[in-house]
């Protein structure tokens, strides 16, 4: 069992199932899904109260001034009438994910489970369903591990309690909007220099997590950046409670977190909308999203990434010792956008052919070959996403990523080679592989034989005319 100390908690062992899984899916869904507005749709509850913001203009136009119609008043429109947990779980399973789950509570304070701690929850109002409970049951029926994501640590900083004209300053609604504080703040302090969370807030923060742990036994818990603002004693108490519960359940569990919000070894580091520029010694994960603007919930005018891009990003992450957690945004009525379904189908189709190079694999001593590389330290993807990937990250058949499993090395090529594939980093001069080490080379999804040569210019493989799949192609190099 674990003590409430970092020196004890750092001894936590990473689950083997997570290292094998590599890839999961979660979803942002709540009353903030109703307006379908904003660059970051899940921040609508914050930005609807800020004059001049796009969300504020949208709110005034469609619902009225937020002094008359607050965020709480959107909840009845979060209807979820088309929500079908079994259908969603099957869709996620068919997309090839190995773990999945909901955002249990975002910064907005609305709980997506049947809660005795927070009356503002999806079982009491809005959908009047236990979304977390239903998804836990349905996902586990599909053989997937169940995860929960917590964002509610940032709720302390999310709403303008100092603006008396809004419902956010009304004591009747503190269970949703959080305890009133900094009520006399003015100017920049109002948003950026607030006092730290008080005991009432911290107790509520922990009690909500404890309720989810006790009721749903998540295999994985993900925490947003607000965790770094939680008092150290409470963070240790939360982690110890979860890991000790898992010991009692006989389960291997893990915590995912951002920045340095937990000490090294306590959980696994997450790069939001990002990826490592190189092979790392530590495990890490990216949470990214199917839309192409980082909306984090369904936004009507947001576009979608191509299946090709998502597959390439998955391959790149796994080759560099990382995992992928992909988000999608359902509509407020519970419908999943058709574009999301297309992406899921193509991901699943690709993994059914090539999954052996991903699931249960490990990174090789060389992660990549080819011209497309991220600059060093480019971990936070907002830079990559907005500026670099659109201009300079169109992979080709010269871009190769490597994974390994058993006696096989997988060369995953991010474009279809014409006639032949040449892998320069597999070269007898380097001494990593001798010609006699190679037993056979095959192309996953293709039944025919491949001829190959190994010489000074590298490993050259003759490529068939017929593509076995789309987007990325896996050459399996089997050793004696």
Calculate ∠ Cα 471-358-355, nearest 5°.
65
Q: Which of the residue ranges 105-109, 383-387, 388-392 would you say has the lowest mean pLDDT? A: 383-387
Last residue of a domain, which of 253, 272, 291? 272
Please check the confidence at residue 377 and state whether its pLDDT lies above 70: no
Please check the confidence at residue 207 and state whether its pLDDT lies above 70: yes
Number of domains making up the chain: 2
Write out 46-65 in H/E/C secondary structure.
HHCCCCCCHHHHHHHHHCCC
Cβ atoms of residues 107 and 42 within 8 Å: yes
Tell me: do 268 and 367 sit in the same domain.
Answer: no
Question: What's the confidence (pLDDT) of residue 376?
Answer: 54
Tell me: do 370 and 245 sit in the same domain.
Answer: no
Nearest CA among 90, 97, 101, 85 for reference residue 26: 101
Q: Is 116 inside a domain boundary?
A: yes
DSSP states along 83-146: --HHHHHHHHHHTT-SEEEEEEE-TT--BSS--SS-SSBTTTSTT-S-HHHHHHHHHHHTT-EE
Tell me: do 163 and 20 sit in the same domain.
Answer: yes
Task: Give the confidence band of 293 by pLDDT, cuts at 50, 70, 90.
Answer: confident
Q: Is 347 inside a domain boundary?
A: no
The CATH number that applies at residue 475 is 2.60.40.1180
Tell me: do 62 and 163 sit in the same domain.
Answer: yes
Tell me: do 237 and 367 sit in the same domain.
Answer: no
Write out the two tokens for 241: 């409670």
Each residue's pLDDT tens digit, 220-273: 999 999 999 999 999 999 999 999 999 999 999 999 999 999 999 999 999 988
Strand order in the sheet with 452-455: 420-423, 458-462, 452-455
Q: What span, in angstroms and rounded, lies between the C-alpha atoms of 166 and 185?
A: 15
Q: What span, in angstroms and rounded, lies between the C-alpha atoms of 72 and 398?
A: 52
The CATH number that applies at residue 129 is 3.20.20.80
Please check the confidence at residue 106 and state whether its pLDDT lies above 60: yes
Residues spanned by the domain of 226? 6-272
Tell me: do 268 and 406 sit in the same domain.
Answer: no
Tell me: do 243 and 369 sit in the same domain.
Answer: no
Question: What's the confidence (pLDDT) of residue 385?
Answer: 44
Task: Give the confidence band of 381 by pLDDT, cuts at 50, 70, 90.
Answer: very low
Give the mean model confidence (pLDDT) for residues 467-476. 98
Please check the confidence at residue 84 and state whether its pLDDT lies above 90: yes
Each residue's pLDDT tens digit, 164-199: 999 999 999 999 999 999 888 877 667 777 889 999
Tell me: do 35 and 184 sit in the same domain.
Answer: yes
Please check the confidence at residue 378 and state whether its pLDDT lies above 50: no
Please check the confidence at residue 373 and state whether its pLDDT lies above 90: no
Question: What's the confidence (pLDDT) of residue 151?
Answer: 98
Last residue of a domain, which of 219, 248, 272? 272
Question: What's the confidence (pLDDT) of residue 277?
Answer: 86
Q: 228 CB contacts (<8 Å, ≥6 apart)?
A: 258, 259, 260, 261
Question: What's the confidence (pLDDT) of residue 184?
Answer: 82
Tell me: do 206 and 73 sit in the same domain.
Answer: yes
> Across all residues in the chain, what is the average pLDDT?
94
Tell me: do 368 and 249 sit in the same domain.
Answer: no
Write out the two tokens for 235: 């963070």
Cα dihedral 395, 398, 403, 409 sign: positive
Tell me: do 69 and 183 sit in the same domain.
Answer: yes
Please check the confidence at residue 399 and state whether its pLDDT lies above 50: yes
Q: Is 350 inside a domain boundary?
A: no
Give the mean model confidence (pLDDT) for residues 72-94. 98
286 CB burial (10 A radius; 0-12, 13-18, 19+)? buried
Last residue of a domain, which of 272, 289, 318? 272
Q: Is 179 inside a domain boundary?
A: yes
Query: Rounded to two decimals, what is the model's pTM?
Result: 0.96
Please check the confidence at residue 48 and state whether its pLDDT lies above 80: yes
Question: What's the confidence (pLDDT) of residue 388?
Answer: 43
Write out the two tokens for 286: 């990216």
Q: Is 379 inside a domain boundary?
A: no
Question: What's the confidence (pLDDT) of residue 284?
Answer: 95
Tell me: do 91 and 211 sit in the same domain.
Answer: yes
């Amino acid at each position: 069992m674990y003590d409430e100390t970092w020196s004890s908690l750092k001894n936590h062992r990473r689950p083997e199932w997570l290292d094998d899984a590599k890839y999961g899916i979660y979803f942002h869904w709540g009353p903030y899904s109703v307006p379908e507005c904003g660059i970051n749709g899940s921040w609508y509850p914050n930005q609807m109260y800020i004059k001049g913001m796009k969300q504020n203009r949208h709110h005034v136009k469609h619902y009225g001034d937020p002094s008359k119609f607050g965020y709480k008043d959107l909840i009845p429109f979060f209807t979820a009438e088309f929500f079908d947990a079994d259908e969603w779980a099957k869709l996620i399973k068919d997309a090839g994910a190995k773990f999945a789950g909901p955002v249990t509570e975002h910064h907005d304070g609305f709980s997506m489970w049947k809660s005795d701690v927070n009356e503002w929850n999806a079982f009491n109002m809005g959908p009047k369903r236990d979304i977390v409970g239903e998804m836990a049951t349905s996902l586990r029926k599909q053989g997937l591990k169940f995860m929960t994501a917590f964002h509610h640590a940032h709720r302390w900083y999310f709403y303008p309690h100092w603006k008396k004209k809004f419902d956010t300053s009304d004591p009747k609604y503190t269970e949703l909007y959080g305890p009133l504080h900094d009520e006399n703040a003015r100017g920049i302090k109002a948003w950026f220099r607030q006092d730290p969370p008080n005991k009432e807030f911290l107790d509520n923060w922990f009690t909500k997590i404890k309720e989810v742990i006790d009721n749903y036994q998540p295999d994985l818990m993900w925490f947003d950046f607000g965790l770094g603002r939680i008092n150290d004693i409470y963070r240790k108490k939360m982690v110890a409670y979860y890991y000790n519960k898992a010991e009692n359940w006989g389960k291997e569990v893990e915590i995912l977190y951002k920045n340095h919000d937990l000490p090294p070894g306590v959980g696994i580091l997450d790069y939001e909308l990002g990826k490592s520029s190189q092979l790392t010694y530590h495990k890490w994960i990216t949470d990214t999203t199917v839309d192409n603007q980082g909306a984090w919930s369904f936004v009507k005018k947001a576009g979608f990434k191509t299946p090709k891009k998502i597959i390439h990003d998955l391959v790149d992450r796994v080759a560099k010792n990382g995992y992928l957690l992909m988000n999608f945004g359902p509509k407020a009525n519970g419908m999943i956008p058709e574009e999301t379904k297309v992406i899921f189908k193509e991901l699943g189709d690709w993994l059914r052919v090539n999954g052996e190079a991903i699931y249960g694999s490990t990174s090789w001593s060389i992660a990549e070959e080819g011209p497309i590389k991220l600059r060093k330290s480019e971990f936070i993807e907002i830079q990559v996403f907005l500026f670099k990937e659109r201009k300079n990250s169109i992979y080709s058949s010269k871009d190769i990523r490597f994974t390994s499993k058993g006696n096989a090395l997988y060369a995953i090529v991010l474009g279809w080679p014409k006639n032949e594939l040449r892998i320069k980093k597999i070269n007898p001069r380097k001494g990593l592989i001798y010609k006699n080490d190679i037993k056979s080379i095959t192309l996953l999804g293709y039944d025919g034989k491949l001829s190959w040569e190994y010489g000074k210019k590298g490993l050259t493989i003759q490529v068939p005319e017929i593509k076995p799949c789309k987007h990325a192609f896996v050459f399996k190099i089997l050793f004696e």
